[in-house]
Amino acid sequence: MKKPARVDEFAAFYEATKTPVFRAVLLARAGEQHAAEDAVAEAYEKAFLRWDKLADHPNPTAWVIRAAINQRISTWRRHRRVVADSGAISPMDDAALDPALVQLIRQLPKGQREVLALRVLLDFSTEQTAEALGVKQGTVKKQLHRALHALRLHLVTHEEEAWQ
């Protein structure tokens, strides 16, 4: 395996982005932790091998996320199986998301989860999110609006039930 010339630069990029990228992929892919870990590892390996060119990409983090999501989809297709949703998510670290919120997000459609993970968790712009997911900016806005609306409805309904 040929190493890129900018190894130290890649190492700094990896250290700075590995946790938020993992969280985004984990959340976007509905909490399949082992599958997300594998996909993120393979995406970073691809990024490492292409770092000489990828370092100049406008958003290498988005590239890694898209590669991880694509890897996860390819793995699923190759094995032709559906991974059962266990309903459990392992703690990622002290800054982990609230498990109740994660459970709500897991109930959202895939596109809404992916947009929510990138726009909210990673604070990507609409343009960066669209590029990372390979969709139009209007789709990102629509999916984010729908995701937030669904979460608000659930929270308002839950709060009203608590007061009764």
Give tens-digit pLDDT for 65-82. Answer: 889 888 876 665 555 444
CB atoms under 10 Å from CB of 102, counted, come to: 15
Q: Which domain holds residue 19?
A: 7-89+97-163
pLDDT > 90? residue 141: yes
- The answer to which of 31-35, 40-44, 142-146 has the lowest mean pLDDT is 31-35
CATH number for 74: 1.20.140.160
Specify which of 72-81, 86-95, 125-134, 154-163 reaches the highest per-range mean pLDDT: 125-134
Q: What are the tokens at 47?
A: 């990024």
Q: At what angle do helices 33-49 and 60-79 cross, to 10 degrees?
A: 120
- Residues written for the chain: 164
In a domain, 1, yes or no: no
Number of domains into which the chain is organized: 1
**pTM beyond cutoff 0.85:** no
CB atoms under 10 Å from CB of 145, counted, come to: 12
Q: What are the tokens at 32?
A: 């399949």
In a domain, 26, yes or no: yes
Q: Cβ distance 92 to 22 under 8 Å? A: yes
Instruction: List C-alpha distances in Å: 25 to 73, 91, 153.
Output: 12, 15, 25
Q: What are the tokens at 123?
A: 């604070």
The 8 Å CB, 24+ separation contacts for 32-35 are 32/72, 32/83, 33/89, 33/90, 35/72, 35/75, 35/76, 35/83
